[in-house]
Amino acid sequence: DTGVSQDPRHKITKRGQNVTFRCDPISEHNRLYWYRQTLGQGPEFLTYFQNEAQLEKSRLLSDRFSAERPKGSFSTLEIQRTEQGDSAMYLCASSFRGFQETQYFGPGTRLLVL
Amino acid sequence: KNEVEQSPQNLTAQEGEFITINCSYSVGISALHWLQQHPGGGIVSLFMLSSGKKKHGRLIATINIQEKHSSLHITASHPRDSAVYICAVRTLPQGGSEKLVFGKGTKLTVNP
């Protein structure tokens, strides 16, 4: 257990539905990252927060994706109008200060869109 | 071509063997990470390197910045080392942006 938790661990949804995932980072960590990992691939960067500010979003993050970290603590990642191509493992990680620091990963949320 | 390439993609070894996993990258970096991912998804950071060599238990990681290459070695491999090992590089900031770029991973299976 790294101290980063994600909920739910698994989600099955039908195409077109909205889903929301939650990440609780290690409490003193000010940076929070979201990644997506498809089968057989390494993780791909989606977005990251410094406290409550979203500092960068990947081109992978289409308009259907939105992430928030309202109080600089937990974060949510919402996918609207899900598509089968959204099926993946969504990973959250946190670190203290910045990229120089070790990132601690959560267990991931595995999404299956039918 | 991916910015981070790992080899081999799959590796099967017998318990006790010496393991080497390689990572090559094509971009300027400020650091390189080696990560371990077990079935079910959990990722653990093993090393962060910007130069030279680091050792932790039976794991050794080296990096050659000039050659843009890193290796992860496992001595006296054990079945519990079976996992996917992922190399990730922290790219140099461009326009204020730094990001981690990941390789596809090397799946290691150590048989008893």
Residues A31, A53: Cα–Cα separation, whole Å: 9
Per-residue pLDDT, A97: 72
Residues A10, B99: Cα–Cα separation, whole Å: 27
**Residue A75 pLDDT level (bands cut at 50, 70, 90):** very high
CA dihedral A99, A103, A109, A110 (to 10 degrees): 80
Q: What is the 3-state secondary structure (H, E, C) of B5-74?
A: EEECCEEEEECCCCEEEEEEECCCEEEEEEEEECCCCCEEEEEEECCEEEEECCEEEEEECCCCEEEEEE
Does B96 score more than 60 pLDDT? no
Higher-confidence residue: A92 or A98? Answer: A92
**Residue A65 pLDDT level (bands cut at 50, 70, 90):** very high
B102 close to B87: Cβ distance less than 8 angstroms: yes
Sign of the C-alpha dihedral computed for residues A71, A110, A107 and B35 taken in this order: negative
Which residues in chain A touch residue B99, judged by CB atoms under 8 angstroms apart?
Answer: 45, 56, 58, 99
Does A74 score more than 90 pLDDT? yes
Per-residue pLDDT, B98: 64
Per-residue pLDDT, B66: 93
Residues A4, A58: Cα–Cα separation, whole Å: 22
**Residue A40 pLDDT level (bands cut at 50, 70, 90):** confident
Query: Mind telling me how many Å the CA of A13 is from chain B's nearest CA?
Result: 19
Average pLDDT for B18-46: 91
Q: Which residue, among B32, B37, B43, would best test binding to A if mutated, counting the most A CBs under 10 Å from its CB? A: B43
**Residue A13 pLDDT level (bands cut at 50, 70, 90):** very high
Question: Searching chain B, which residue's CA lies closest to the CA of residue A1?
Answer: B42
Per-residue pLDDT, A45: 92
Per-residue pLDDT, B39: 82
Per-residue pLDDT, A59: 85
Query: Mind telling me how many Å the CA of A24 is from chain B's nearest CA?
Result: 15
Would you list which residues of chain B are within 8 Å, Cβ to Cβ, of chain A?
Answer: 4, 30-31, 33, 35, 40-45, 48, 86, 88, 90, 97-105
Does B97 score more than 60 pLDDT? no
Contact flag B41-A42 (C-beta cutoff 8 Å) = no
